[in-house]
Amino acid sequence: MKFLHATLFFFIGLFAYSQVFSVNEGYSTITSHAHNNFVDGEKLDVFITESNQGSLVTILHSDALGNSIGQQAYLMSGYNVKIIGVTTYSDGSYNFVLTSYDNTYVNYCLSIVKFSSSHTLLWNKKLIVQDLNEPYFKHMAIDNGNGGVFISCSAYQYLGVINIDVNGNILWSKSYTGVNSNGKSPGFSICKNGIGGVIGTLKEDSYQCIVNIDANGQAIWAKTFFDQNYRWPSSIKQLNDGNFLIVGDFYADVITTYTYIQKVSPAGNVLFSKKINTETMQCHDMAINDNDEIYILGSDWSNYPTSVLKLDANCNVVSIKKTDKLDIVNNDYPHSFTSDSPKSFTARTSLYYKPTVIHLNDDIVSLCYSSSIDGLITTNDVAMQQAIVTTGVLVADLTVVSTNQIFTSVSEQLSIEKDDPCTELSISSIIEENDVSIYPNPALNHLTINLKDNKVESAKFIDIQGNVVFEVCKNCSGQIETEVSTLSPGIYYVVITSPDNRWVKKLVIN
């Protein structure tokens, strides 16, 4: 029996945990992964692994702490299988949407699979969409509010939306193309609009276009922003006040990239436009909490591939966290928040390229190897706000052929082990021996670190937000005296690392 391995580890104190998925010999690296939460906090992970038998689809059901409740595995026909989204419902049922090529490697397919709350397979269907190839940006799957799912499919020339009912039947399928697009009008993101339909973002040639779609798939209005060239409207979400927020990227010139934020009303009127100089960050997804605080998930193609930018309800920057341990792999854009919640997101770890779910606490402080970047400001941009023009979209029927999917249950099982691609502040690396000590504790002005005979590589002070405050020493031993009077009162961790051990000591500064 060949086994898949799921790995679980926990951060100490206020730090949340991550689930890291890897595979054993006999299977190639996991190609894609999606995650969502049930209303009771339980979690659902679905990930795809390629083998010589076909594509293995593995479903892992976990409790709120990540402990395994149950699992199933299925073999699926087709090639280059990837998952684009998991949707959970209040009755405990769920579905997920997969993309693949069929056995001829000609038709690009969307497959929908529905399960009951007891994980019984209810139905599975394959949709072959005419003229659809691999996504220009990304496909999405979201709850349609009636037990079914809206699927967005992004082709080079259009945004496609398919409405599926609770039984897997197609209610309608439409394509939307900007009237001035010159044949280039790929879709980026959709969200529910509160009236039974969706509102979506697409490009009209190189400009941003927003289209509001009713419950029957007809365009209510469409507007284009002729302000900045090469604008990428990555994500749209509805705020608690009923308005909509769009985040994305645009190039001010050849080398300067900005993150932009726009708030629009249900009628498409711009309420404000702001931009943030986030260096080289590219936006991938956005989540909004109950207080309308905004979390933008992005990647930096230079030094720190994964970033989480937090904004307040007025879209002012609160903080940004970046980490070099979560990476984009093979340009398949795995980064996304789960269930529109800023408390967890999926990514890839750079260690063995493992798909990972990062479960954050109430803030974004639990990113391993995270650091803050100061000086980010949001500025209002009147030109962006005034550049909107009512244009329109060309709406056409999207030809979709529905067939039964080949989806076969197999006996593959997961085993859960502990692993740690994030080496800072993880329980598995803490050594509770008494041969390293710190005193006095609490401390006021001075601290002594007694390393005794241990030769350590480094000793660092880390605050409860995961930031390295300062490094006490490198390649040191014996007794170290350090000044702490400049530290703000609060809780810190002294992290001491040797070639063989790691000590983490909690320190209180008065």
Rounded to an integer, the average pLDDT of 291-295 is 85
Domain end residue (candidates: 384, 407, 423): 423
Same domain membership, residue 470 and residue 404: no
128 or 375, which is more confident?
128
Residue-wise pLDDT for 77-99, tens only, equals 777 888 888 899 989 999 999 98
299 domain residue, yes or no: no
Question: What was the pLDDT predicted at 23?
Answer: 47
**pLDDT reading at 352 higher than 50:** no
155 domain residue, yes or no: no
Q: How confident is the model at residue 190 (pLDDT cuts 50, 70, 90)?
A: very high
Same domain membership, residue 453 and residue 408: no
Q: What are phi and psi of 10, to 5 degrees?
A: -125, 145
114 domain residue, yes or no: yes
Question: What was the pLDDT predicted at 496?
Answer: 83
Question: What was the pLDDT predicted at 182?
Answer: 80
Burial of 201 from C-beta contacts in 10 A (0-12 / 13-18 / 19+): buried
Question: What was the pLDDT predicted at 229?
Answer: 60
Question: What was the pLDDT predicted at 78?
Answer: 76
Question: What was the pLDDT predicted at 431?
Answer: 34
Rounded to an integer, the average pLDDT of 474-490 is 88
Same domain membership, residue 505 and residue 407: no
DSSP string, 176-232: EEETT-TT---EEEEEE-SSSSEEEEEEETTEEEEEEE-TTS-EEEEEEE-SSSSEE
Q: How confident is the model at residue 377 (pLDDT cuts 50, 70, 90)?
A: low
In the chain, % of residues over pLDDT 70: 71
Quick check: bond before 442 cis, omega within 30?
yes
Most confident of 44-53, 62-71, 162-171, 491-500: 162-171
Same domain membership, residue 106 and residue 15: yes
Same domain membership, residue 112 and residue 11: yes
137 domain residue, yes or no: no
Same domain membership, residue 439 and residue 403: no
Same domain membership, residue 26 and residue 73: yes
**pLDDT reading at 107 higher than 50:** yes
Q: How confident is the model at residue 491 (pLDDT cuts 50, 70, 90)?
A: confident
Question: What was the pLDDT predicted at 215?
Answer: 96
57 domain residue, yes or no: yes
**pLDDT reading at 369 higher than 90:** no
Question: What was the pLDDT predicted at 428?
Answer: 29
Residue-wise pLDDT for 421-432, tens only, equals 443 333 223 333
41 domain residue, yes or no: yes
Q: How confident is the model at residue 350 (pLDDT cuts 50, 70, 90)?
A: very low
Rounded to an integer, the average pLDDT of 207-224 is 93
d(CA 300, CA 123) in angstroms, rounded, equals 40
Same domain membership, residue 30 and residue 95: yes
258 domain residue, yes or no: no
Same domain membership, residue 106 and residue 8: yes
First to last CA, the chain: 57
Q: How confident is the model at residue 462 (pLDDT cuts 50, 70, 90)?
A: confident
Distance of alpha carbon 241 from the chain centroid: 24
d(CA 246, CA 238) in angstroms, rounded, equals 9
Domain end residue (candidates: 423, 456, 483): 423
Q: In the sheet where 490-497 sits, what is the strand order?
A: 468-476, 456-463, 490-497, 502-509
Q: Which tokens go with 311?
A: 């904004």
Rounded to an integer, the average pLDDT of 428-443 is 63
**pLDDT reading at 444 higher than 60:** yes
Same domain membership, residue 495 and residue 466: yes
**pLDDT reading at 465 higher than 70:** no
Question: What was the pLDDT predicted at 163?
Answer: 97
Q: How confident is the model at residue 245 (pLDDT cuts 50, 70, 90)?
A: very high
Q: Which tokens go with 121?
A: 């397979």
Same domain membership, residue 412 and residue 479: no
Q: What is the pTM of this model?
A: 0.74
d(CA 502, CA 21) in angstroms, rounded, equals 25
DSSP string, 105-149: S-SEEEEEEEE-TT--EEEEEEEEETT--S-SS--EEEE-SSSSE
d(CA 254, CA 478) in angstroms, rounded, equals 53
Q: pLDDT averaged over the chain?
A: 75
Give how far Cα 80 sits from Cα of 29, 99, 266, 505, Å. Answer: 12, 8, 38, 47
**pLDDT reading at 112 higher than 70:** yes
437 domain residue, yes or no: yes
Number of domains in the chain: 2
Domain end residue (candidates: 391, 423, 455): 423
Tell me which residue range forms the domain holding 450: 430-509
Rounded to an integer, the average pLDDT of 235-262 is 83
Residue-wise pLDDT for 24-69, tens only, equals 444 455 667 777 878 777 888 887 877 666 788 888 888 776 677 8
Same domain membership, residue 115 and residue 71: yes
